[in-house]
Amino acid sequence: MSKRAVAYLRVSTWDQSVQTQLYDLQALARQRGLEIAKQYTDHISGAKSRRPGLDELLADARRGQFDIVLVWACDRLARSVRHFLEVLDELNHLNVEFISFREQLDTGGALGRAVVVIISVVAELERNLIVERVKAGMRRAKLEGRPIGRRPLVVDRNAVLLERAHGRSLSQLASTFRISRASVSRLLKEAKEGQYEPQHWAL
């Protein structure tokens, strides 16, 4: 039984054409003795997380409707290295091969799988370096006596309760005291249950 192939095409704006990508992928498919059974297309920026075409492709992959995904370039598929690896990992678990025309990356072969492993290691190293930089910054701030994170917002809760008694809505209270509706609701609930100090409330 021959393997079923599909193509994923993406351009950033509607005035761009996917025909060049499709032409190259059709040539690639012929070289490998494949036929592209379906095309998934997105006209959307690479930075956008929600893509109708990609979402449909992954949904069909989970239903086992194809065996190979062809893309013109890796950056057509994902918005970041992390997202790219997440998509590749899901396709791998679904036993779906991934082939990129520009990078000549083929996860159906040993070399392609090795490249994916290397990319994963580099991405993990990058994440660890970012975490270490954040921790180092927090340690330095602590040693220098600087506050870490946002300072607590102190609200005159008695004033909030008084305004509420005069019929002000949650939205009006949130706007007046520059806090969220959720904070107003929590304050009123705690006031009703008697779970607060009489003067101020820190958010």
Q: Note the CATH number of domain 154-202.
A: 1.10.10
116's tokens: 């994916």
pTM, full prediction: 0.58
What's residue 152's pLDDT? 60
> Does the fold of domain 154-202 match that of domain 5-110?
no
Token couple for 150: 């946002």
Which residues are paired to 70 by β-bridges?
Answer: 7, 99
Tell me the catalytic residues. 12
| Interval 35-84: pLDDT, tens | 999 999 998 876 666 789 999 999 999 999 999 999 999 888 887 777 88
d(CA 139, CA 34) in angstroms, rounded, equals 56
Class of domain 5-110: alpha beta
Q: Which residue has the tokens 């975490």?
A: 131
- The reported pLDDT for the residue numbered 101 is 94
Any idea where the domains of the chain sit in the sequence? 5-110, 154-202
Contact (Cβ atoms closer than 8 angstroms) between residue 108 and residue 68? yes
